[in-house]
Structure 1
Amino acid sequence: MQFTLISALFAVAAVLSGAAATPVEIKARVGNSTDAAQAGLFVCTDAGFSGNCENVGFGNAQCVVFPGAFQNDISAIGPPTGWVCDAYTDFSCNGDGLGDITFPGISDLGDGNTNYNDRLNSFICFST
């Protein structure tokens, strides 16, 4: 059997697909794009989308662990348009969490309507 470039690409893809199964920490800072690969999930440490803020990049249906500075310290969260996200208190997108977050998001997780202020550690988003 002859080894071809296509065979090599399939082998690399198989290896990489196994690595993507675990939560990863991804950071991405960019402008106002609705493309998740560019914009990410916008999170802030203070209500009203203020304080320390960052766009955290993600892939479709990929569990992502929030960067260390945001673990248990998120007070505002907003996905880009065209995406719905779920955020969780654990580090593996399981168990207790806040679901169905859509654009423009939640500007105050401590407003009494949720009990997730300063408790979130991972998230997963899906294209709508």
Structure 2
Amino acid sequence: MQFTLAISVLATALAVAATPVKRWDNALYVCSDANWSGTCENVGFNNEECIVFPGELQNDITSVGPPQGYYCYLYRNYSCTGDNLSSVVYPGISDLGDGNTDYNDGLNSFKCFGSVGSE
């Protein structure tokens, strides 16, 4: 019985160790409130890949900051198509609710691109 348990534990450990870890090119910094406050998170992305915001941030983003050397498109839908806030660059937008856009608490996905000349 103990031998079977030991083999089961070893098999589980090997399966976990073999699970690939997602590597990201960079991260988009987003916060639920203005001026980089509230719930904040670095959301990893790969260049030109559509990323859906984590559930707790969907339709709840007020501050958004791309990393230097990237420009990002932020979308209302979950597939990086359609209505978007385009070409957001570093340092980003600290308050989407300031009246200059209508995207406050309305974003669900994004796609970032490395700028020409960036490393």
How does the TM-score come out when normalised to structure 2? 0.76
- Name the aligned partner's letter for residue 66 of structure 1: F
Runs of at least 5 residues in structure 2 that lack an aligned partner in the other structure? 1-21
- Residue 61 of structure 2 is matched in structure 1 by 74
1:85 to 49, 54, 72: 72
Higher strand share: 2
- Residue 85 of structure 2 is matched in structure 1 by 98
- Aligned CA-pair RMSD: 1.5
Query: C-alpha separation between the residues in 2 aligned to 1:84 and 1:97?
Result: 13
Query: C-alpha separation between the residues in 2 aligned to 1:57 and 1:107?
Result: 19
Percent of residue pairs identical: 57
2:107 to 120, 125, 128: 120
Runs of at least 5 residues in structure 1 that lack an aligned partner in the other structure? 1-25, 29-35
- Residue 13 of structure 2 is matched in structure 1 by none
Query: C-alpha separation between the residues in 2 aligned to 1:49 and 1:114?
Result: 17
How does the TM-score come out when normalised to structure 1? 0.71
Q: Which has the larger radius of gyration?
A: 2
Query: C-alpha separation between the residues in 1 aligned to 2:82 and 2:65?
Result: 21
Deviant stretches of 4+, over 6 Å = none
Confirm whether residue 107 of structure 1 aligns to residue 94 of structure 2: yes
Alignment of 1:10-49 (within 5 A): 37=25, 39-49=26-36
**SS of 1:42 mapped into structure 2:** strand
